[in-house]
């Protein structure tokens, strides 16, 4: 089991992804407005909750204290804008928003489409897993045999809220199939439920106008790659550079602030990633968990997943 920092032991961010209300369906790990408010109140009472602009300034001056905490949002999700932003307005606090430029351009990002598909086109996520595991088993005997290397006690141990099937699914997706085979298998499954991914694009992601509104209201907008690959560390140096450079050029072309911040998609990065971020002039970055790592630096600030706070606070 990975050793973790305790909250308040080091400066940290809280990582948010999915929210639900009457317009955005409930999904695995999503929270509503009420739960979000309770998390903010808890952080404000127990730690020093500060706005993203203050956090960035303190981080660049190496003045962050162990109790300092900020709020972060990944993946350019429309549910965040619709549900979380009004709450932030109410509390008068700004946050980090880590944006994928491909999504702001109006393109589909299959990772989120697949999440919507498994959440809304099946009788719960376990129903999806059952169908997916069967489709995987049927697709390639050679690939199926590779599942023997899966150790649920070790794989994604830094994310204790994942179930056994969550871990198994992600192992198959990232370690066995890879992007092309996984995408192909999932797209084949669309026909089983008569699902058209283009029909839900505007429900899932913010556009450039939303990003400009966030900036106008004082939020800090940062990098999250162009197209959100799930395994950045597995990309070549050139492909990693393209992902972050295109992301940065797009944001700085359409927004007034410089892209000085970022977060690592799916917590995947390596030494090449750090070198690229340095060369691009990025100042700070966030990991996706609270794991204690051997050589933390300015691109490895830890984050607590909101799912862990939901469990702790019994929300």
pLDDT digits (tens, 9 = 90+) for 272-296: 999 999 999 999 999 999 998 876 6
Q: Please, are residues 247 and 119 in contact by the beta-carbon 8 Å criterion?
A: no
Where does the pLDDT of residue 161 fall: very low under 50, low under 70, confident under 90, or very high at 90 and above? confident
Write phi, then psi, for 227 (nearest 5 degrees).
Answer: -120, 5
Q: Is the pLDDT of residue 158 over 90?
A: no
The pTM of the full predicted model, rounded to 2 decimals, is 0.84
Average pLDDT over residues 170-196: 91
Domain termination residue (choose one: 194, 214, 239): 194
Question: Which tokens is 222 given?
Answer: 């940062």
Task: Look over the chain and give the mean of its residue pLDDT values, rounded to a whole number.
Answer: 93
- Indicate whether 114 belongs to any domain: no
* Pair 213, 303 in one domain: yes
- Indicate whether 169 belongs to any domain: yes
Q: Is the pLDDT of residue 1 over 70?
A: no
Q: How far apart are CA 90 and CA 177, in angstroms?
A: 44
Q: Is the pLDDT of residue 171 over 80?
A: yes
Question: Which tokens is 159 given?
Answer: 């994310």
Contacts 24+ apart (CB under 8 A), 25-28: 25/119, 25/120, 27/115, 27/116, 27/119, 27/120, 28/119, 28/125
As for how many domains the chain has, the answer is 2
* Pair 188, 214 in one domain: no
- The pLDDT of residue 157 is 84
- The pLDDT of residue 67 is 96
* Pair 126, 96 in one domain: no
* Pair 296, 180 in one domain: no
* Pair 18, 87 in one domain: yes
Q: Please, are residues 273 and 264 in contact by the beta-carbon 8 Å criterion?
A: yes
* Pair 77, 134 in one domain: no
- The pLDDT of residue 172 is 93
Q: Is the pLDDT of residue 3 over 90?
A: no
Where does the pLDDT of residue 109 fall: very low under 50, low under 70, confident under 90, or very high at 90 and above? confident
- Indicate whether 112 belongs to any domain: no
Where does the pLDDT of residue 10 fall: very low under 50, low under 70, confident under 90, or very high at 90 and above? very high
List the domain range (segments joined by +) for residue 130. 122-194
* Pair 213, 308 in one domain: yes
Give pLDDT tens digits for 219-275: 999 999 999 988 899 999 999 999 999 999 999 999 999 999 999 999 999 999 999
Average pLDDT over residues 80-97: 98
CATH number of the domain enclosing 63: 3.20.20.370
**Stretch among 24-33, 120-129, 140-149, 280-289 having the lowest mean pLDDT:** 140-149
A 10 A CB-CB count for 209 gives: 10
* Pair 91, 151 in one domain: no
Average pLDDT over residues 169-185: 91
- The pLDDT of residue 40 is 98
**Displacement of CA 211 from its chain's centroid (Å):** 17
Average pLDDT over residues 209-218: 97
- The pLDDT of residue 237 is 98
The upper half-sphere exposure of residue 77, i.e. CA atoms within 13 Å in the direction of its Cβ, equals: 21
Question: DSSP letter at 286?
Answer: E
Question: Which tokens is 112 given?
Answer: 């989120």
- The pLDDT of residue 294 is 78
């Amino acid at each position: 089991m990975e050793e973790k920092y305790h909250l308040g032991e080091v400066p940290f961010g809280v990582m948010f992804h999915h929210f639900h209300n009457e317009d955005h369906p409930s999904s695995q790990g999503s929270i509503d407005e009420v739960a979000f408010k309770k998390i903010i109140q808890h952080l404000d009472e127990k730690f020093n909750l500060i706005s993203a602009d203050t956090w960035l300034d303190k981080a660049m001056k190496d003045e962050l204290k162990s109790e300092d905490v900020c709020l972060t949002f990944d993946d350019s999700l429309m549910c965040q804008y619709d549900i979380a932003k009004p709450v932030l307005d109410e509390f008068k606090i700004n946050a980090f928003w880590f944006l994928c430029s491909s999504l702001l351009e109006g393109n589909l990002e299959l990772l989120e489409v697949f999440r919507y598909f498994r959440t809304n086109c099946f009788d719960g996520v376990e129903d999806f897993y059952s169908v997916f595991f069967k489709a995987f088993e049927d697709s390639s005997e050679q690939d199926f045999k590779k599942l023997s290397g899966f150790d649920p006690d070790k794989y994604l141990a830094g994310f204790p809220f994942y179930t056994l099937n969550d871990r198994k699914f992600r192992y198959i997706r990232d370690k066995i199939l890879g992007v092309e085979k996984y995408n192909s298998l999932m797209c084949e499954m669309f026909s089983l439920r008569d699902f058209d991914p283009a029909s839900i694009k505007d429900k899932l992601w913010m556009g450039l106008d939303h990003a400009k509104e966030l900036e106008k209201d004082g939020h800090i907008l940062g990098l999250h790659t162009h197209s959100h690959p799930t395994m950045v560390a597995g990309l070549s140096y050139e492909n990693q550079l393209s992902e972050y450079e295109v992301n940065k050029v797009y944001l700085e072309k359409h927004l007034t602030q410089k892209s000085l911040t970022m977060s690592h998609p799916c917590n995947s990065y390596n030494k090449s990633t750090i070198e690229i971020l340095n060369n691009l002039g990025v100042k700070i970055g966030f990991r996706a968990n609270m794991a204690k790592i051997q050589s933390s630096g300015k691109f490895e600030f830890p984050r607590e997943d909101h799912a862990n706070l939901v469990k702790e606070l019994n929300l």
